[in-house]
A = this chain, B = another copy of it.
Amino acid sequence: MDLFLSTFENRIDKKGRLSVPAPFRAVLERRRDPLYLFKSLTEPCLEGCGPERIGQIVDAIESMDSLSAEVATLQTMLSSAQEMKLDGEGRMMLSGDFIDFAELDDMALFAGIGRSFQIWLPARYRERETAARSRAKTDGLPSLRLGGAYRPPGDTDGRS
């Protein structure tokens, strides 16, 4: 299973082009997947993923009550989604809408988070990162308490 990991910072040139980091392109190319970007529902950043995630949203909408608020939310995700075509050098063109939404100027930070990645204004991402780290120090590590995470048998990690 190959994942989007690590962070990369690339320049947005004056034509609005932005290189997708080569390791991220490699993940997509291995699967022959096109890249989709959409506006995050909860944060001022863009989300990148492959088609399977888009397909899940489409399927979910069709199985839900079309009058529900949840469907409207999912439709908002799809309506902001674009299939990004990359040029020969692996760059995509960011629409003005995307740039405005994430408040990007001349640099973009890619943050790999597993099955998807995010694109942030670098300064904003770092703010968020330090905030998350200090929260972790004072509040502990909430993520490790969530269910489903694999731990080797017998690894109680000091917690009950």
Contact = CB atoms under 8 A, between A and B. Distances in A.
B113 A78 contact: yes
Contacts of A36: 5
A55 interface: yes
B154 A58 contact: no
Contacts of A66: 42
A73 B146 contact: no
Given A40-B153, A60-B142, 14 more contacts: A6-B81, A43-B154, A56-B144, A56-B147, A60-B146, A60-B150, A61-B113, A62-B114, A69-B139, A71-B142, A73-B135, A79-B112, A143-B157, A148-B157
Interface of A: 1, 3, 5-7, 36, 40-43, 45, 47-49, 51, 53-63, 66-67, 69-76, 78-83, 97, 111-116, 118, 128-129, 132-133, 135-137, 139, 141-154, 156-160
